[in-house]
Structure 1
Amino acid sequence: MKAWMAAAGLLLSGSAMAQQNPIDHTLEQCLNDATTTAAMVACYSDASRGWDGEMNRQYSQLIKRLSGEPEKKLRSAQRQWLIWRDSWQAAAAAYFAHTQGSLAQVSLAAQTLSLMRNQALMLQSMNKGSCASDTEC
């Protein structure tokens, strides 16, 4: 139980840097109420879907403003990121299945959330055109 709490703490401290995004706020509330492994996984899965939507929104906004080489580079980078994300998730699933038992699903769900959040924030920082401080990215 302590392992998932440590993982949740790390994720939630990262969310504080993101100015407590509504997705992360909802996740925090959900995790506070979760009493089972399945409930924790559902919390992370819901938040991942939220960040996936935010990532897609940020990508769509950015790609609409670009043309030529920058547009081509961004499309390629996002496609490669999706492949990398899937590869990372497969590697993490194999690792956690052998090291964490029943908490493997929680760890994998938390990692998936982190991947989605980070990519959404990277695209957001490109949309904003600045990354001078944590509050801008």
Structure 2
Amino acid sequence: MFKHYLLGAGALLAMACAQADDYSSTYTQCMDKASSTLAMGACIQAETKLQDDRLNRVYKQLMAKLDAQQQKDLREVQRTWMKYRDGNCAFHGKLSNGSIYRIEGAMCEMDMSKDRAAELERILSPGQ
């Protein structure tokens, strides 16, 4: 059982490191030093906050450039997206009672927030 746990933790760490180019250097450094799922969770939590701040910033910038109807549409889509993200990531986090699944759920939220921020950035500044 412990061997299975170590293999799972190793796989998650490898997955996190493989995606590190899309994240802050602080996150990459934190994950490189993380020696437990608790430490990994702290890294993920800090990066999720950074990505959420990025998402909120670009959302506000985009809203400022849109007309009233487009603002209404974006607000509705964003609320739907948030509900989906939260439900989807909660599902990932509850597949088992193990800490690996909680880490996977947290990574899901971090990844989806990063991807959504990038999507809104592309809309805000097309062609860049």
Shorter-chain TM-score: which interval?
Answer: 0.7 to 0.9
TM-score, normalised to structure 1's length?
A: 0.80
Q: For this pair of structures, how many residues does the alignment match?
A: 120
Choose the corresponding residue for 2:104, options 89, 102, 107.
Answer: 107
Q: CA deviation at 1:93?
A: 1.6
* Equivalent position to 2:10, from 2, 18, 22: 2
* Percent of aligned positions that are identical: 28
Greater relative CO (CA pairs within 8 A, separation 6+): 1
Counterpart residue number, 1:117: 114
Q: State the secondary structure of the residue aligned to 1:129.
A: coil
Report whether the alignment pairs 1:29 with 2:29.
yes
Provide the C-alpha distance between the structure 2 equivalents of 1:104 and 1:116, rounded to a whole number of angstroms: 18
What residue ranges of structure 2 are gaps of 5+ in the alignment?
Answer: 1-8
Per-residue CA distance 1:66-96 (angstroms, 9 max, x = gap): 113222111111111111111112211222x
Q: Which amino acid aligns with 1:84?
A: Y
Alignment-derived partner of residue 48 in structure 1: 48
In the TM superposition, what are the counterparts of 1:91-102 in structure 2 within 5 Å? 91-95=91-95, 97=96, 101-102=98-99
Shift of 1:24: 2.0
Aligned to 2:77: 77
Partner Cα distance (2:18, 2:107) in 1: 10
Change (3 A) 1:32 1:9: closer
The structure 1 segments of at least 4 consecutive aligned residues displaced by more than 3 Å after TM superposition are none
Structure 1 unmatched ranges of 5 or more: 16-22, 131-135
* 1:106 Cα deviation after fit: 1.9
User: Which of 118, 124, 129 in structure 1 is aligned with 2:126?
Assistant: 129
What TM-score results when the alignment is normalised by the length of structure 2? 0.85
Q: Cα RMSD between the aligned structures? A: 1.6
